[in-house]
A and B are shown apart, each in its own frame.
Chain A
Amino acid sequence: MSYKEIEEVDVILLWGSNAREAHPIFFHHLMSGLDNGARMYAVDPRRTSSATFADVWLGLNLGSDIAMSNTVAREIIHQGLVNQNFIDHSTTGFDTYAESVEPFTLEVGAELTGVPAEAIAEMARAYATADKAQILWTLGITEHHNGVDNVFALCNLALLTGHVGRWGSGLVPLRGQNNVQGGGDMGALPNKFPGFQNITDPAAQAKFRTAYGVDLPDEDGLHLTLMFEAMDRGEITSAYVIGENPADSEADIEFARATLRGLDTLVVQDIFMTRTAELADVVLPASVGWVESDGTVTSSERRVQRVRAAVSPPGEAKHDQDIIGELARRLGYDWGRPDSIELWDELRSLSPLHAGMSYQRLDAKGLQWPCPSLEHPGTPFLHSWLWDDDLGGHPPAPFTVVEAAGPKEELSVEFPMRLTTGRALDSFNTGVQSGGFDSPIRYGDALDINPADAASLDLLDGERVLVSSARGSVEMPIRFQPEIPRGLTFTTFHFPEFVDINVLTSDAWDKKSGTAEFKAASIRIDKIEAPAAENHSEVDHHG
């Protein structure tokens, strides 16, 4: 997809994304779409600042996304609103899928999601009958123990209606970091070479072996969550961490920190002395990628763009590629000192997706991959082959039957409330970058809670409380939020030095992606100390 597409769309399903705060400039494009007449349905347990722009907010139960999408699917099928030609021509597995969603009547869906049936039916109709419709999501979909299934569930809706592979219609996952897409492009995945070529593909193996002049592993590696488990079992004893702060960012943080401490050797290469770096045996100071180095990053619309050095790095900090090259030299491999263009041109020679992207062409506005040749203009959206007569030689797109499982962690008497997490506009992840400027709109991490829930716990706005999950406890202030549904709480995670929120988050993770269930934990809130007696009686009768 391209951001521009949403300016021309008719219906937007914003699902598990608070793009207003997490992707503000993408949201500008979205708002243009709304100004141009698009209808938006926001599916989110919270009425986020993004959801306030929606025509309809559907506040589903935390983790009931598949129940919702299956209900939508059944409604579309039963109302005869499927795109039968598209299904027949471009997909497989419809019958089995249709059977799997059959139990999800509007009544059942309403029961499972907590959202009134009419609203689900309305969204289903709006999506199915739109000329151009998009489903957008971010971590509200993926950071669940069944995040991959959540994604499949949304893809199924696009396949039912043909809202994919056309300009304006599509599935839009928004990337959370400036180069998380580029990391994937470059092969920073356990199962891919650069350009998303499979490690297990013999042809790719041969190509990279020849190019690099070394033997390469021919089976998939471990993703982060599995690495931590392997460290825990003692199978991995050393780690080299570049530009990541797992000692603050991992779910179930105490486990992660203990694991890192248990390593024989921990090398951290970073621009900050992060909490992870503090645990390291060796810290390699790196220059800042986007403003002290030359190179490229890839955005959510697959646009590869140039970053350029504008200021010099401080002290002994070095460019990442020079540190790695230096390390290689000491390990016996002298790569010389290739500059960023040479490195990039090597990538282009190996990754067909990027082959046409010379630095010169990237210079002005970047290019969207695939861009296989110097003449190729780049690709504004993917999967257009779904509409080709011969499907461009691809097999048809399969419907995927998914199980409507809720959060791994059930509510219990001991932990009766839900906790979910998200970003604030002026902050970013663990705050190591965004903490550097003085934002007038920053309020710190606080636990948003429905005032009625707070009243039943005898709590006042702003009061510091003890929040506990099965994994640990943290102290933090609460913030009254009348619009958050009862039983749900929310916090940002930008100030781990003050509120170590990932002490609480779930240790469940998705076996298919390795992503942890940051978005759904079960918690308890305890009062730290009783307020003054006169306040007590006042609050009491609300409970």
Chain B
Amino acid sequence: MSKESIVTVSIDGKMVSVAAGATLLDACRQAGVDTPTLCYADNLTAANACRVCVVEVEGSRTLVPSCSRSAEDAMVVQTDSERVRHSRKMVLEFLGSGVDLSQADDLAGWIDYYGSEPDRYGPDRAMIKEEVRIQDSLYIRDYDKCVLCYKCVSACGEDAQHSFAIAVAGRGFDARIRTEFDVRLPDSACVYCGNCVAVCPTNALQFKTEFDLRKMGEWKPTEQAVTRTVCSYCGVGCNLEVHVQDDTIVKVTSPDDHDVTSGHLCIKGRFGWSYVQPGQSAAEEGD
């Protein structure tokens, strides 16, 4: 690699060199600095919406989102300054004050770490309250848990599936992920690839299998084994991660870093495994 294609930045006083075009998040990772992210995923274009990954860059009036800001030579970055800690604390607190983060496993530690107190906005504060949408036997949508990270929209749209069945509708705190006119998912452009579910960080989108097991109190992630294999349908060779609990497949994902899928599957790969265990699927019919 030529010298120009390398930039060196200081992360909390530690010098790290990254390829030109790399983000500050990449640099943080290289520096071994753990950074909370929510709307960022390695297999999607950075949405730059949640702002939980902000860092302080010397000379910048505001904090900058590490996920989508390119590292520039000689940048001096603080990831744990009082300003950064305050903003991260408040972002998590704001999120927790409006939606149910109880299944956002990746965030729980950070909420603790930064000392966010979502309840200090009082019991009368506006929160998102919607019925769980169960409209088919493959997924459920529980928008009380939605943090509007745009990941599902990107996965459904131009980052992967190009179906564009869902989009952000409305504005401000009333913005929601919606089909057109909120039509039922089976009546929309959805082709049930499940890529939206796979990228959801808060379990607002869930596979019906998981939802049903949770309802029965039978969802046991710690007892699940994940085995990597190859889809049994067409000849593209998508890698699958088969999640197995009690010798039963409970869900299927794909590794984000796989060259073929980048973590994205089609309906057959995602759901076409039921024949392996006829009669064992926990899924109940939707409304």
CB-contact partner of B264 in A25, A180, A297, under 8 A? A25
Tell me the dominant secondary structure on chain B's binding face: loop
Specify which chain B residues have a CB less than 8 angstroms from the CB of A439 in the assembled complex: 138, 192, 267, 271
Across the interface, do B229 and A306 meet the contact criterion of CB distance under 8 Å? yes
Contact A290 B231, CB 8 Å, known A299-B237, A440-B137, A440-B186: yes
* A interface SS class: loop
Cross-interface CB contact of A291 among B161, B262, B264, B273, cutoff 8 Å: B273
Determine how close the nearest CB of chain A comes to the CB of B82; give it in whole angstroms: 42
Give Cα A314 to B190, complex, Å.
34
Name B258-285 residues within 8 Å CB distance of A. Answer: 258-262, 264-269, 271-278, 281, 283
Interchain CB contact under 8 A, A23 and B229: no
Instruction: Check if B267 sits within 8 Å of A305, measured CB to CB.
Output: no
User: Closest residue of chain A to B187, judged by CB?
Assistant: A440
Instruction: Give every chain B residue within 8 A of A314 (Cβ-Cβ).
Output: 277
Cα A427 to Cα B275 in complex, Å, equals: 13
Structural contact, A432 and B236, CB atoms closer than 8 A: no
CB-CB under 8 A for A174 and B235, given A311-B277, A425-B191, A440-B136 = yes
> Are B137's CB and A428's CB within 8 A?
no
A428 near B235: Cβ-Cβ < 8 Å: no
A277 CB to nearest chain B CB (Å) = 14
- Expressed in whole angstroms, the minimum distance between the Cβ of B138 and any Cβ of chain A is 6
A386 at the interface (CB under 8 A from B): no
**CB < 8 Å: which of A31, A292, A305, A441 contacts B239?**
A305
Asked if B275 and A432 make an inter-chain contact with CB atoms under 8 angstroms apart, the answer reads yes
Q: Is the CB of B259 within 8 A of A4?
A: yes
| Residue B27 lies at the interface, judged by CB distance under 8 Å to chain A | no
0/1 per residue, A292-320, Cβ < 8 Å to B?
10000111110101111111101000000
Q: Is B119 an interface residue (CB 8 A)?
A: no
Bound Cα distance A314, B276 (Å): 9
Query: Quick check: A311 and B272 within 8 Å, CB to CB?
Result: no
Of B56-64, B140-148, B173-181, B240-248, the one touching chain A: B240-248
**Closest chain A residue to B243 by CB distance?**
A310
Q: Is B230 a contact partner of A178 (Cβ separation < 8 A)? A: yes
B232 within 8 Å of A (CB atoms): yes
Instruction: Enumerate B99-120 residues with CB–CB distance to A below 8 Å.
Output: none
Q: Is B132 part of the contact surface with A, judged by Cβ < 8 Å? A: no
Q: How many angstroms from the CA of A310 to the CA of B276 in the assembled complex? A: 11
List CB contacts (< 8 Å) of B214-245 with chain A.
Answer: 225, 227-240, 242, 244
A selection of 25 A-B contacts at a CB cut-off of 8 Å is A3-B236, A24-B236, A25-B236, A25-B238, A25-B261, A178-B237, A290-B240, A291-B229, A291-B232, A297-B237, A301-B237, A309-B227, A311-B247, A436-B274, A436-B276, A437-B274, A437-B275, A437-B281, A439-B192, A439-B271, A440-B136, A440-B138, A440-B186, A441-B186, A441-B267
Given contacts A35-B158, A305-B237, 11 further A-B contacts (CB under 8 A): A24-B236, A28-B161, A31-B162, A175-B235, A311-B276, A434-B272, A436-B278, A437-B138, A437-B274, A439-B267, A440-B185
